[in-house]
Amino acid sequence: MKTYFVQIESASPISYSKYHGVPLNDRETHEQHEKRTWREKALVNKGGVAEISAMAFKFALCSAAKYLGLQIPGKGKRTYSKIFDSAILITDNVSIGINKEDLEANWVHVNSDGKRGSGSRVMRCFPTAREWNGVLKLYVLDDAITEAILKQHLEAAGMFIGVGQFRVERGGTNGRFKIVSLKVI
């Protein structure tokens, strides 16, 4: 098993859409509720600093492995997809060093039920950070994933998959990141 620290920085803004469950107040409209609670959609730690979910990076790496479809040398047609699914462990969220209060409001006209092409649209506000960075700690449990292969998949995940709301994988432009450094511990 190898442990890596990956310093990342934004290539595009990150936007959050976490479910918060804050109820409407008496006689409050949906628009008033959105204006009052939009910051609650951000994932934050106990200190109120915005984070990106560890699972967002895990899913991005697994999607990148499927996207690239690289074959494992000496294993016939077998690709890295299943190995990335089972042999990558990311346990800690990535702090982006921005307080929840400092996130920008990004108002977007979206489908009311969240399904593309469903018809009815409403204004929603998503907490957004234009520039961000952080350190991703990940464990690689299979020696088939070399440092070079990991870096190649991280770069693909950062440019073509992304993390967060309106990410590239889902047809958006947000959540892209670049690898600043990759260090084995």
**Sequential DSSP letters for 78-147:** -BSHHHHHHHEE--S-EEEEEEGGGSEEEEEEEETTS-TT-S-EEEEEEEEESS-EEEEEEEE--TTS-H
Cα separation of 125 and 107, whole Å? 4
Assessment of whether the complete model's pTM goes beyond 0.85: yes
pLDDT of residue 64: 98
Taking all residues of the chain, what is their mean pLDDT, rounded to a whole number? 96
pLDDT by residue (tens digit) across 30-48? 999 999 999 999 999 999 9
* pLDDT value at residue 115: 78
**At 179, is the pLDDT very low, low, confident or very high (cuts 50, 70, 90)?**
very high
Predicted confidence band at 116 (pLDDT cuts at 50, 70, 90)? confident
Residue 177 has pLDDT above 80, yes or no: yes
In the chain, % of residues over pLDDT 90: 93
Q: Please, which pLDDT band fits residue 111 given cuts at 50, 70 and 90?
A: confident
pLDDT reported for residue 130: 98
